Amino acid sequence: MAILAVLILVTIGTAMVNKQTSSGKPVIYWVTDNNPARALQINTFQAWMKKKGYPDCELKLDTANRDVSKQIIQSVSGVGGDVMDCWSGGGDIMYFAEMGIMEDVTEDAKKLGFDPSKTFPSLEDDLKVGGKQYIFPCNVGASMYFVNCEVFKRFGLETPPMTWDIAEFERRGKEFVEVANKGLERRMFFMAENIDMISTMRSYGNDVFNETLTRSRMTGEGNEGYLKALKLNKKWIEEYHLIPSAAEVQSFSTDSGYGGATLQLFFKGNFAMVNIGRYALIQFRQFGTMDLDAVQYPNGGYPNTIIATRAALVYKGGKNKDLAKYFLAYLASEDYNMNIVNDADALPPNPEYTRTEEYLHPKDYPNEWKVHKKFAQDAVDISIVLTKSPFVANKRVYSYLDDARQAVLSKKQTPEESVKYCETRINEEIDRNLLEKPKLRPEYDKQLELQKKIDEYRKTGRKIPKDWISNPYHKKYYKDMGWLETEKNANIQ
Amino acid sequence: MLSKKTSNTIAGIAFLSPNIIGFLCFTTIPLVFSMVLAFSNWDLTLHNMFHDEAIKFVGLKNFIRLFQERDFWKFLGNTLFLMMGAPFAIAGSLIAAILLNKDLKGKKSGVFKIILPGAILFISCVMLTLVGMGAAALTILIVGAVGMTLISGILFGQTVYRTLFYLPNFTSGVAVYILWKKLYSPQTGPVNAVLDKPVSVVGNIVNATPSWVLLAGEWLCLLIGLFIMMKVLKSLFNHWKEGDIGSCGLVLALFFVMLPAFFAILWAPTAAMKLAVPAIAVVLLVFHLATDLKTRDFPCTIWHGVGSGFMIAMISLIPMFMFIGFAAAIAHLADITRQTDFSVLPPPEWLASYDWAKPAIMIMGLWMAIGSNNMLLYLAGLSNVPPELEEAADIDGASPFQKFWHVTWPQLAPITFFIVVMTVIGGLQGGFEMARTMTQGGPFGSTTTLSYFIYNEGFATGRLGYSSAISWVLFIMVFSITMINWKFGSKYVND
């Protein structure tokens, strides 16, 4: 009995102590990663709210629940964070939208100034699902190859050009690994740590899905993009050793920091180039001075890169949804964007701030000056989001693509078998989804009809109305190729 | 006023209630709930607090889909493959327990105990010099740790060893997995640093060996495998004749014993071998069926001795598969040495290789299992073996092995039975943490187990109903195997 009484007293005491430390203001919880920059971002947010005359509130971090599984379970149980970070790349946003856990912020975005016009245009397909806006970027990543210029200089080779094709990459890569590894017992130097399979596929004019996102289309004449990417990957790993095998990567790896040991190895010169976003500069700055440049991925005819974002969403079941929306508005503000610019934490959400002197020529880092403009430029000119179909679980899609790559490297399948297997699995998954979710069927059938028309138009060489296309890749590719019907043409028709 | 009995009951329930409530809330209710879910179409993208769509019962649809899914069979295969290490793990923990049951602080063998670590350290240093000290910092660390362990053992006795052996069990799993990932690092890890030279020597030998010798070696291995099969068949039919095994036990055992012959069709290096091995095996079987089934000296019930038959078959499978494996390995080695552009044969790529990832995880699991709770259970069991039995065996002039086989091992039967049951359950349910930490289930799904599959289905697609169905299929498998264990294994415990 006495123990029980003590426990009750302790509980009351703890509650009282906690009450005293609480400011009494409404609290917004931000589920994000454990990054030292967050403290500054919180302070800037509070100051920005005050400056704008918005309601007083407190922003608290929740760094223990960033894992997607936790976010899902907590959200569907009604206890998600008010604002949650999510990654647009792997299909989380589409998944969250399907679950209905995100608040539709379309109208508020217009009112508070964080609509898609305030960020990179190519991100629009990631910000919106079914025409509704749910998120706004915290930062934006458009990947390129960072180049360690000193390594090329060390071996008496020229640094690569900004834009290059596959053959040029192969030629320069072979030259590099031959010179760099001469006389060594085992290969220690590689041209790059990996190639981006999706961008390589896209550079041949193909994507995982067709124009209406109704089927995976990776085989057959004119759709050999992923097959070519698989073959190149295999050749460059096993034959030419331009990029390391999984075993070679594991041999290097120390698993420290994001990207494992890749960035340290890049600094040391083992990888002459690394495929990563501008946020890598945070670590590069800690390593020391390095003469840096950035170049595009080698392309098979169509230069492109992938753009993605770590974005913030407002939880639909949150208690302070209105206040949480101010946080999204804050992400579009100058105060926040300049934080990102100064921290080099990828690209700022608003491209306007990539034109500032602080972004282009950071005073303390002249060694980076060649890099900044290129990242911002590519994010605007050649970037496309990863394709997500509303008819399939997209995480599955990208895991099948990776399975295909692993199957080829493990010699379990030929590249041809692997692509076929991957396409079949994705299409089976679409069929299964349609069976399990009959609600999707009407829209799917509508898109299938459109697909038939698109195929017919493409066969006869006619231009295609932009509205028919849902796939963000095809939207841009067709536009760049001049295959889209212009508004003028459409009116005539 | 309550009677003393009533108040005692209330007090007892009150003390138990936190546990009971916890068990109900966090075990029983979720368990029942997941069983209901397994027959539903619960999908997180359709059914949650933000959608008002009703959950529908779909009958056996989830189960039917599961059995049609190729991934399920592949991942079940992975799970069973990883479980093949279980007998070795149990044997390892028994050996560890036997070693740790001896007081190593004794004075008589002190010299030996100093010589042993000294020798290990000396050999290690020689190896380090050969492989190059610079690349083997972690190896030096490990050798140092081994040396220290041995010396500590001499100074402080078995307590040190018991603690150290149990270390893997109370070290965080993730930390252990990351450590092993480093050990397996193909070019810089200490495992390959040690293997590098011997493997290249083997490679050179294979390279220098004429192809007909290699072919003869492959045939020899297969024939040894067939010879073992012949002996086991003979033994099984003898047991059947003598009434030790019933017809059911015989059929079950024959099924397992014949398995290697069919696997030889997949694994044997040449077409002739793929044909000859199963053909010879079938001839052997037909011969025994034709000659040994005619007469039976001591008839018994058909279910009698199923466990014995099963055990004989299982034990015999190990050497048979081993020799088929040797034959395949000789052919594979020859292929690699011909194909590789290196001057020497490279050591395995472990976690980065489709073929080696599973064995790599098995080896790590073996290491973890040797120093696990199983070892503690065996230690407890060993301390309970009546000394008078051992003394009696000593007086009868039994050798150490005879003493172990006829006295200690039977006394450990209840513990072994418990360990086998728990290991099988753990094996079927396990593999999630390892796969998630070390390989993400790859390469190409080679280390994805059923538990990882359940997680992926539940969270990558939100199909919780389907995911629950997989969990329940897993439960049925665990339950069935446990029941078989109880039915046929507990006999030996009670005997």
With CB atoms and an 8 Å threshold, state whether B353 touches A247. Answer: yes
A328, two tokens = 């999204």
What letter represents residue A333's amino acid? Answer: S
Residue B353's closest chain A neighbor by CA? A410
Q: Categorise residue A384: left if φ over 0, alpha if ψ from -120 to 50, beta otherwise.
A: beta
Distance CA B293, CA B275 (A): 27
Residue B446 touches partner A, C-beta closer than 8 Å:
yes
H/E element holding A426?
helix A415-436
Backbone angles phi, psi at A314, to 5 degrees: -100, 125
B483, two tokens = 């029941």
Distance CA A317, CA A304 (A): 38
Distance CA A419, CA A426 (A): 11
With CB atoms and an 8 Å threshold, state whether A101 touches B48. Answer: yes
Residue B46 touches partner A, C-beta closer than 8 Å:
yes
Residue A188 touches partner B, C-beta closer than 8 Å:
no
H/E element holding A59?
strand A58-62
- Domain range holding A133? 23-142+307-384
Q: Which of B71, B133, B24 is nearest to B448 (CA)?
A: B71
Distance between B352 CA and the closest CA of chain A, angstroms: 5
* Chain A interface, best mutation among B40, B41, B44, by max A CB count within 10 A: B44
Higher pLDDT, A166 or B343: A166
Residue A248 touches partner B, C-beta closer than 8 Å:
yes
Distance between B369 CA and the closest CA of chain A, angstroms: 25
Residue whose entry in the numeric block shows the structure tokens 């000193």 = A150
Cα B254 versus chain centre, distance: 22
Residue A256 touches partner B, C-beta closer than 8 Å:
no
Residue A441 touches partner B, C-beta closer than 8 Å:
no
Is A445 inside any structural domain?
A: no
Residue whose entry in the numeric block shows the structure tokens 């934490």 = A345
With CB atoms and an 8 Å threshold, state whether A410 touches B46. Answer: no
pLDDT by residue (tens digit) across A439-464?
999 999 999 999 999 999 999 999 99
Higher pLDDT, A480 or B82: A480
Rg of chain A over all Cα atoms, to the nearest angstrom:
25
Q: Which of B435, B379, B431, B432 is nearest to B408 (CA)?
A: B379
Cα angle at A220 between A215 and A224, to 5 degrees? 95
Residue A31 pairs in a beta bridge with A62, A84
Residue B63: its pLDDT value, please? 95
Residue B115: its pLDDT value, please? 57
Residue B442 touches partner A, C-beta closer than 8 Å:
yes
Is A362 inside any structural domain?
A: yes
Enumerate helices (H) and strands (E) in chain A, giving the number of each. 22, 12
H/E element holding A312?
strand A305-314
Which residues in chain A touch residue B353, judged by CB atoms under 8 angstroms apart?
A: 247, 410
Nearest CB among A245, A317, A395 relative to B49 is that of A317
Distance CA B386, CA B407 (A): 9
Residue whose entry in the numeric block shows the structure tokens 């075990």 = B27
* pLDDT score of A490 more than 50: no
Percent of chain A with pLDDT over 70: 95
pLDDT, mean of residues A360-369: 93
What letter represents residue B332's amino acid? Answer: H
H/E element holding A306?
strand A305-314
Is A298 inside any structural domain?
A: no
Residue A154: its pLDDT value, please? 93
Distance CA A199, CA A387 (A): 11
With CB atoms and an 8 Å threshold, state whether B187 touches A251. Answer: yes
H/E element holding A453?
helix A441-460
With CB atoms and an 8 Å threshold, state whether B444 touches A406. Answer: yes
A398, two tokens = 């990208």
Strands, E, within A82-203: which ranges?
A: 83-87, 128-129, 132-133, 135-142, 144-148, 190-192
With CB atoms and an 8 Å threshold, state whether A395 touches B178. Answer: no
With CB atoms and an 8 Å threshold, state whether B188 touches A436. Answer: no
Residue B169 touches partner A, C-beta closer than 8 Å:
no
Cβ-based burial of B136 (10 A; exposed 0-12, middle 13-18, buried ≥19): buried
Count of structural domains, chain A:
1
Is the Cα torsion angle B143, B147, B150, B156 positive or negative in sign? negative
Domains of chain B from N-terminus onward: 4-67 (no CATH), 68-103+350-495 (1.10.3720.10), 106-194 (no CATH), 195-347 (no CATH)
* pLDDT score of A10 more than 80: yes
Q: Which of A29-38, A77-86, A257-266, A476-485 has the lowest mean pLDDT?
A: A257-266
Give the CATH number of the domain where residue A341 resides: 3.40.190.10
Long-range contacts made by residues B198-204, C-beta under 8 angstroms, separation at least 24? B199/B344, B199/B345, B199/B346, B199/B347, B200/B344, B200/B345, B202/B333, B202/B345, B203/B333, B203/B336, B203/B337, B203/B344, B203/B345, B204/B344, B204/B345
Cα angle at B102 between B98 and B107, to 5 degrees? 155
Q: Which of B350, B345, B354 is nearest to B183 (CA)?
A: B350
Residue A258: its pLDDT value, please? 47
CA distances from B392 to A132, B206, B386 (A): 85, 52, 10
Cα angle at B457 between B454 and B461, to 5 degrees? 160
Q: What is the DSSP letter of A165?
A: B
Backbone angles phi, psi at A32, to 5 degrees: -145, 180
Q: Going residue by residue through chain B, which has 495 residues, state the pLDDT in tens, using 9 for 90 and above.
A: 678 888 899 999 999 999 999 999 999 999 999 999 999 999 998 888 898 888 999 999 999 999 998 899 999 999 988 888 888 888 888 988 888 887 655 555 555 655 566 667 667 666 665 665 554 555 666 666 666 666 666 666 677 777 877 877 777 778 888 888 888 887 777 788 778 778 778 777 877 888 888 889 999 999 999 999 999 999 999 999 988 888 888 998 999 999 888 888 887 888 888 899 999 999 999 999 999 888 888 888 888 888 788 878 888 888 898 888 888 888 877 777 766 554 556 778 888 888 889 999 999 988 888 888 888 899 999 988 888 888 898 898 888 888 888 888 888 888 888 888 888 888 888 888 888 888 888 788 899 999 999 998 888 888 999 999 999 999 999 898 888 877 776 665 555
Prediction ipTM score: 0.85
Residue whose entry in the numeric block shows the structure tokens 């990207």 = A259
With CB atoms and an 8 Å threshold, state whether B187 touches A395. Answer: no
pLDDT, mean of residues A307-323: 93
Residue A68's closest chain B neighbor by CA? B459
Distance CA A60, CA A27 (A): 7
Which residues in chain B touch residue A392, judged by CB atoms under 8 angstroms apart?
A: none
SS (H, E, C) chain B: CCCHHHHHHHHHHHHHHHHHHHHHHHHHHHHHHHHHHCCECCCCCCCCCCCCCCCCECCCHHHHHHHHCHHHHHHHHHHHHHHCCHHHHHHHHHHHHHHHCCCCCCCCCHHHHHHHHHHHHHHHHHHHHHHCHHHHHHHHHHHHHHHHHHHHHHHHCHHHHHHHHHHHHHCCHHHHHHHHHHHCCCCCCHHHHHHHHHHHHHHHHHHHCCHHHHHHHHHHHHHHHHHHHHHHHHHHHHHHHCCCCCHHHHHHHHHHHHHHHHHHHHHCCCHHHHHHHHHHHHHHHHHHHHHHCCCCCCCCCCCCCHHHHHHHHHHHHHHHHHHHHHHHHHHHHHHHHHHCCCCCCCCCCHHHCHHHHHHHHHHHHHHHHHCCHHHHHHHHHHHCCCHHHHHHHHHCCCCHHHHHHHHHHHHCHHHHHHHHHHHHHHHHHCCHHHHHHHHCCCCCCCCCCHHHHHHHHHHHCCCHHHHHHHHHHHHHHHHHHHHHHHHHHHHHHHC
Is A212 inside any structural domain?
A: no
Is A345 inside any structural domain?
A: yes
- Are the CB atoms for A310 and A87 separated by under 8 Å? yes
Q: What is the DSSP letter of A185?
A: S
pLDDT bracket for residue A491 (50, 70, 90): very low
Backbone angles phi, psi at A390, to 5 degrees: -75, -5
Q: How many CA atoms lie within 13 A of B68 on its CB side?
A: 9
Nearest CB among B50, B178, B187 relative to A100 is that of B50
Is A332 inside any structural domain?
A: yes
Cβ-based burial of A209 (10 A; exposed 0-12, middle 13-18, buried ≥19): buried
A17, two tokens = 């102590």
Residue B353 touches partner A, C-beta closer than 8 Å:
yes
